Amino acid sequence: MVAYDSLMLLLEPTTLAVILGCAVYGLVVGAIPGFTATMAVALLVPMTYFLDPVPALAGIVTLAAMAIFAGDIPGALLRMPGTPASAAYANESYLMAKRGEAETALGVGLVASALGGVFGALMLIFAAPMLAEISLNFSSFEYFWLACLGLVAAIAASNSTPAKGAISLFIGLTIGMVGLDPVMGQQRFTFGNINLIGGLAFIPVLIGLFAVSEAFRFGAKPVERPDILPMSPKSLFVGVFSHVRRLKWPVLRGSGIGAVVGAIPGAGADIAAYISYAVARRSSPRKAEFGTGTVDGIAPATAANNAAVGGALIPATVFGIPGDSLTAVIIGVLYMKGLNPGPTVFIMQPTLLYAIFIAFLIANIVMVPLGFGAIVLFRRILSAPPGVVMALVTLACIVGAFAVENTTFAILVMLAAGLLGFYLEENDFPLAPVILGIVLGPILESTFLASLAKSQGSFIEFFSRPIAGSLGAITIAIIVVPLLYSTLKRRRRKI
Amino acid sequence: MKLDDLINGVVFLVLGIGIVAYAQSLPTMAQIEYGPGFLPSIVGTGMALAGAALIIARIWKNVGIVDGWFAFNGNGLRGLLGVGIFLAAIVFYILTADTFGFLIVAPILLFVIVYWFERRWKLAITVSIVGTFLLHTFFYQIMKAPLPWGILIEYSGALTW
């Protein structure tokens, strides 16, 4: 019954139009090198502000799925992955394209992406409610450790040094603290400015960090694009299905890896693709072909990054803990739409939530025809003058930040966040921990204080419940183990 | 703008200490041991320690060295001006939109950016008109966001399509 009601919600003309529009938008932005999926979502968020929850969130998850696939296209034809998630196998598909097998690389990639995405969506539909049932017994102690785990894992999974990851995280937590504190309603970091009492608005900060910073980077050094390798769309699906049939088990394994890795807080689609590629390489009977351009490397890895999106939505919806920066944004939108993530949302508003999950499933199925269209039109997408695209992005940023807050101050916040994002990226500070800090900071503080009040100030209580204790141990291990490992390594080297 | 990690480290060390000092100034309540200053103290301490770690790594392991303390990873002066164009465009909008209105400021902003990067004035004019029309239609007419009219307020009825 819930499934039927959810489907009916999706079949409304506005919802269908939003999903289709977001699919096309995601494919176009994902296919342009230099634009990230998070930037595409950041620009979309102000538009969804004015929509009902189902079309808004269905649009965002559709966009996420499409952008991750579309990143494969410039990876194969330009050797420039459209999004970081495609980096693991961009070389493999480029080498195939150079041999004149671009159609096979992209065709197999498209079908494997769709299969991985469907696997991730099914995992989400079936695993999330089960996990929600278990987590109904969670108290503030478990949520505190989950928030800590998300933050620590975000640093561990970032490509930068732990010190720089930590600084990014602390910047995010500081941004999240601006406004009234949750205990006394005391003003913090407002410095007498009435615009700051309500806190720094999430959307202008998000747009600044991920889209305005992109404009600055483009201004400093426009992305240079090499020549596009030739490709004939007519033969895109020739021989593809025999490859997919042959690779069904590696694709399934890659999808499983993707869904699980995606669900781990901090690890995203790019890490899932790298792990899946490495596992496929180790277990393949055609090991020697890896690194020379083979679909055996592409299919499992591209299935993994698409499955990871569904996986990352599991902790995001069940606990409100983001798996990566993309899901951090989705959590922000869930709060904005009154669908506060957590196990109770599965009981209170199952129809809305399942409508979003089903939209994600459908998005991964229609990815095949729409993705085909994106591959065919890739040359045309890339012919859009980058200066025009960036000018429109900048104006959309300004209008988007203004539209949700109705104040010029929001544009100022966006500009400051843009400069911060530009500075951070230029100096190799990762951006994902910043956004995770903003989303998780308030949860961390309120659950910590609620837990302390319950335990009457005793810290032992934080470890005395079995799940809370295990989560606490994992969190501490993520911090301590790498430190111990590097100290031991240094000592051994001295000996 | 890439800075030497020694500078980055000092910036965050000082900022962290500043946050801790600020946290101490926040009031506490007798019944609540962990008041509004608790999380800022932790965050400030963490930031200062991470800043110190950057400084130590820079001095001991030569990590994050930049010749001459800072470097610009862009196309020289043209790159700097490219960043400046976006910065100036946003500041220009903030300062003038309320007075002159979206329909006057937005086309100027689009024209300047497109012309700077593409050097094609016909394209720049087309984008500035079509882009303004599309964004105004979407945000003002469909999404009902109150984009400023400025001096065009008297013509708002005629300009709403």
Tens digits of per-residue pLDDT, A455-479? Answer: 887 888 888 888 888 888 888 888 8
Instruction: Give the residue, A124 or A341, on which the prediction is more confident.
Output: A124
Q: Can you give the pLDDT at residue A348?
A: 84
Q: pLDDT band at residue A227, thresholds of 50, 70 and 90? A: confident
CB pairs under 8 A between A and B: 186
**Residues listed for chain A:** 495
Q: Burial, B100: exposed, middle or buried (Cβ in 10 Å; 0-12, 13-18, 19+)?
A: middle
Identify which of B72, B75, B135 has the shortest CB distance to residue A396. Answer: B135
Are A418 and A208 a contacting pair, CB within 8 Å? yes
Residue contact A457–B147, C-beta within 8 A: no
Nearest CA in chain B to A185: B36
Q: Can you give the pLDDT at residue A366?
A: 92
In percent, how much of chain A has pLDDT > 90?
A: 36
For an interface test with A, the pick among B11, B43, B72, B122 (most A C-beta atoms closer than 10 Å) comes out as B43
Angstrom distance (rounded) from CA A118 to CA A244: 15
Chain B partners within 8 Å of A428 (Cβ): 64
Q: pLDDT band at residue A155, thresholds of 50, 70 and 90? A: confident
Residues 184-223 of A with CB under 8 A from B: 184, 186, 188-189, 212, 215-216, 218-222
Angstrom distance (rounded) from CA A181 to CA A171: 17
Chain B partners within 8 Å of A212 (Cβ): 86, 90
Angstrom distance (rounded) from CA A259 to CA A311: 4
Nearest CA in chain A to B22: A189
Question: What are the residue boundaries of the structural domains of chain B, listed by start?
Answer: 2-71, 76-159
CB atoms within 10 A of CB B1: 16
Angstrom distance (rounded) from CA A74 to CA A28: 11
Q: Can you give the pLDDT at residue A266?
A: 67
CA distance A348 to chain B (A): 28
Angstrom distance (rounded) from CA A304 to CA A315: 17
Angstrom distance (rounded) from CA A49 to CA B138: 13
Chain B partners within 8 Å of A163 (Cβ): 50, 53-54, 57
- Read off the tokens for A326: 């993309």
Beta carbons within 8 Å of A169's beta carbon, 6+ residues apart: A151, A154, A155, A433, A434, A436, A437
Q: Which of A84-88, A107-111, A298-302, A304-308 has the lowest mean pLDDT?
A: A84-88
Tens digits of per-residue pLDDT, B34-79? Answer: 788 889 999 999 999 999 999 999 998 887 778 777 787 777 888 8
Residues 427-486 of A with CB under 8 A from B: 427-428, 441, 444-445, 448-449, 452, 457
Residue contact A427–B98, C-beta within 8 A: no
Q: Which residues pair with A188 in a beta bridge?
A: A179
Residues 35-94 of A with CB under 8 A from B: 47, 49-50
Residue contact B113–A390, C-beta within 8 A: yes
Tens digits of per-residue pLDDT, A343-360? Answer: 888 888 888 889 999 999
Q: Output the average pLDDT for chain A.
A: 87
Return the DSSP state at A187: E
Asked if B14 is an interface residue toward chain A (Cβ–Cβ < 8 A), one would say: no
Asked if B145 is an interface residue toward chain A (Cβ–Cβ < 8 A), one would say: yes
Q: Burial, A98: exposed, middle or buried (Cβ in 10 Å; 0-12, 13-18, 19+)?
A: middle
Chain A partners within 8 Å of B35 (Cβ): 181, 183-184, 186
Q: pLDDT band at residue A42, thresholds of 50, 70 and 90? A: confident
Identify which of A171, A177, A395 has the shortest CB distance to residue B110. Answer: A395
Angstrom distance (rounded) from CA A408 to CA B93: 9
Q: Which of A158-162, A188-192, B123-127 has the lowest mean pLDDT?
A: A158-162
Asked if A21 is an interface residue toward chain B (Cβ–Cβ < 8 A), one would say: no
For an interface test with A, the pick among B3, B17, B20, B90 (most A C-beta atoms closer than 10 Å) comes out as B90
CA torsion, points A309, A312, A313, A314, in degrees to nearest 10?
Answer: 130
Q: Can you give the pLDDT at residue B31?
A: 66
Asked if B118 is an interface residue toward chain A (Cβ–Cβ < 8 A), one would say: yes
Angstrom distance (rounded) from CA A393 to CA A386: 10
Q: Is the pLDDT of residue A232 over 80?
A: no
Q: Can you give the pLDDT at residue B30?
A: 65
Are B152 and B101 a contacting pair, CB within 8 Å? yes
Nearest CA in chain B to A160: B64
Chain B partners within 8 Å of A394 (Cβ): 86, 89-90, 109, 113
Asked if B100 is an interface residue toward chain A (Cβ–Cβ < 8 A), one would say: no
Residue contact A452–B34, C-beta within 8 A: yes
Highest mean pLDDT among A40-54, A178-192, A234-248, A292-306 belongs to A292-306
**ipTM for the whole complex:** 0.94
Angstrom distance (rounded) from CA A48 to CA A46: 5
Residue contact B89–A452, C-beta within 8 A: no
- Read off the tokens for A269: 């689609």
Beta carbons within 8 Å of A347's beta carbon, 6+ residues apart: none
Q: H or E element: which one contains A273?
A: helix A269-283
Asked if B92 is an interface residue toward chain A (Cβ–Cβ < 8 A), one would say: no
Angstrom distance (rounded) from CA B96 to CA B105: 7
- CA angle A65/A39/A433 to nearest 5° reads 95
Residue contact A396–B89, C-beta within 8 A: no
Query: In chain B, how long is the greatest CA-to-CA distance?
Result: 69
- A103 to A234, A236, A245, A344, A378: CA distances (angstroms): 9, 5, 17, 46, 13
Chain B partners within 8 Å of A221 (Cβ): 73-75, 79, 82
User: Amino acid letter at A411?
Assistant: I
Chain B partners within 8 Å of A170 (Cβ): 12, 16, 43, 46-47, 50
Q: Can you give the pLDDT at residue A494?
A: 64
Asked if B152 is an interface residue toward chain A (Cβ–Cβ < 8 A), one would say: no
CB atoms within 10 A of CB B67: 7
